[in-house]
């Protein structure tokens, strides 16, 4: 049976990217392709609250979807589907969608009279830290598709070889006892901290994403686990709210600029507590109230993936135009969010009707 809350959470998360990536322009944390000199406190709050758990939760949902996917197809068909739905759009996006963003980043930082074709040569021949903020090669926002492809292939192989093998049920029961046992929170926190020790690319741990993916698969494989999460929905919610409030106070008032081992441990514990409680709260409430379909969901199921791929260059182009002429950062954020959302969906509909990129953008 299809679990509609998985689709709802995924689609809402993609729509929230319009606000999240707009906030990245106006917040004081980190860098971005276009950065406003004037900062906005609401943008800071949005980044702090969402950064830790927002995208990792999508890997949890991908693991859950993999359970249903492998119920209806072989591992060979599953791998082919991952290539068609993830790798092909990723390659297309890196060639067509990403370079304009890094071009805008270079122009925004003062490189005047920059020829776009010269920039393309620079983009494809220079590799630095994969951020792309200096115009060099990057997957940009498509890092999620890259990671999801890698995690899906590795995770799918683990599921097929281990979880669906002769001893698979015993192994899953052992993992369930660890994930959902008496000391499950401590176990999950330990796994999260361990995953943070491994090298990451662009600040994202692929091991952490893989753990969350497997967690999603196991959770949705057994309906009783969903029921356990539902039974603790208010506990997850209170922990999430408390941890979020602590994170805001900690980040603004207590966290020192220099990070030592002690601060790293505190950061990791806070991050993983917020991640676990967020996934628990979102899954609990959505599985109760959002496990139903309607016309909006069916439309978003068709459009959200393509919207995700094409939204960021549109958003950045609008920011490039709006920020120099609008003094209010709050008004600028509202305009960028509203206009980028509207224009992205208009572009999606135009492309869908033209049928030029339907296969590479998975448009239906």
Instruction: State pLDDT tens for residues 20-49.
Output: 999 999 999 889 999 999 999 999 999 988
Lowest mean pLDDT among 82-96, 142-156, 180-194, 216-230: 180-194
What is d(CA 247, CA 313) in angstroms, rounded to the nearest whole number? 31
Query: Residue range 230-240: average pLDDT?
Result: 93
DSSP 1-13: ---HHHHHHHHHH
**Alpha-carbon distance 331 to 36, whole Å?**
13
Reduced to 3 states (helix: H, G, I; strand: E, B; else coil), residue 135 is coil
Distance CA 276, CA 188 (A): 8
Per-residue confidence (pLDDT) for residue 364, from 0 to 100: 61
Going by pLDDT thresholds of 50, 70 and 90, the confidence category of residue 225 is confident
Q: Which two tokens stand for residue 254?
A: 């207590």
Q: According to the model, what pLDDT value does residue 362 have?
A: 65
- Give me the residue spans of the domains in the chain: 58-221
What is the pLDDT at residue 201?
73
User: Can you read off the two tokens belonging to residue 8?
Assistant: 């709802």
Facing residues of 204 across strands?
201
How much is the mean pLDDT over the chain? 90
Q: What is the pLDDT of residues 153-170, one digit of tens each?
A: 999 988 888 887 777 788
Nearest Cα residue to 312 out of 33, 58, 55 = 33
Expressed in percent and rounded to 5, the helix, strand and coil fractions of the chain are: 75, 0, 25
Of 89, 9, 92, the C-alpha closest to 297 is 9
293-307 per-position pLDDT tens digit: 999 999 999 999 999
| Winning range, highest mean pLDDT, from 208-222, 258-272, 287-301 | 287-301
């Amino acid at each position: 049976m299809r679990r509609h809350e998985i689709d709802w959470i995924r689609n809402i998360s993609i729509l929230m990217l319009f606000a999240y990536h707009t906030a990245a322009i106006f917040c004081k944390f980190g860098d971005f392709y276009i950065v406003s000199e004037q900062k906005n406190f609401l943008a800071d709050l949005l980044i702090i609250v969402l950064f830790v758990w927002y995208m990792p939760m999508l890997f949890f949902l991908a693991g859950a979807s993999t359970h249903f996917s492998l119920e209806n197809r072989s591992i060979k068909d599953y791998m082919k589907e991952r290539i068609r739905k993830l790798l092909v759009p990723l390659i297309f996006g890196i060639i067509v969608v990403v370079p304009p963003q890094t071009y805008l980043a270079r122009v925004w930082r003062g490189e005047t009279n920059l020829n776009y074709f010269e920039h393309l040569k620079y983009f494809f021949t220079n590799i630095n830290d994969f951020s792309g903020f200096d115009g060099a090669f990057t997957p940009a926002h498509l890092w999620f598709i890259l990671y999801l492809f890698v995690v899906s292939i590795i995770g799918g192989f683990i599921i097929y070889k281990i979880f669906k093998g002769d001893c698979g049920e015993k192994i899953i029961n052992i993992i369930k006892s660890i994930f959902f046992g008496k000391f499950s929170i401590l176990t999950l926190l330990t796994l999260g901290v361990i995953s943070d020790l491994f090298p990451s690319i662009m600040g994202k741990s692929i091991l952490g994403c893989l753990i969350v993916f497997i967690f999603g698969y196991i959770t949705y494989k057994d309906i009783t686990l969903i029921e356990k999460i539902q039974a603790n929905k208010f506990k997850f919610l209170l922990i999430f709210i408390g941890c979020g409030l602590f994170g805001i106070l900690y980040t603004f008032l207590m966290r020192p600029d220099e990070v030592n081992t002690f601060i790293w441990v505190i950061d990791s514990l806070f991050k993983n507590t917020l991640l676990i409680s967020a996934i628990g709260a979102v899954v609990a409430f959505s599985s109760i109230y959002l496990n139903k379909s309607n016309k909006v969901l069916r439309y978003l199921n068709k459009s959200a993936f393509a919207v995700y791929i094409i939204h960021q260059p549109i958003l950045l182009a609008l920011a490039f135009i709006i920020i120099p002429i609008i003094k209010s950062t709050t008004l600028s954020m509202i305009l960028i969010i509203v206009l980028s959302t509207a224009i992205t969906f208009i572009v999606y509909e135009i492309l869908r009707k033209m049928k030029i990129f339907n296969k590479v953008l998975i448009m239906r």
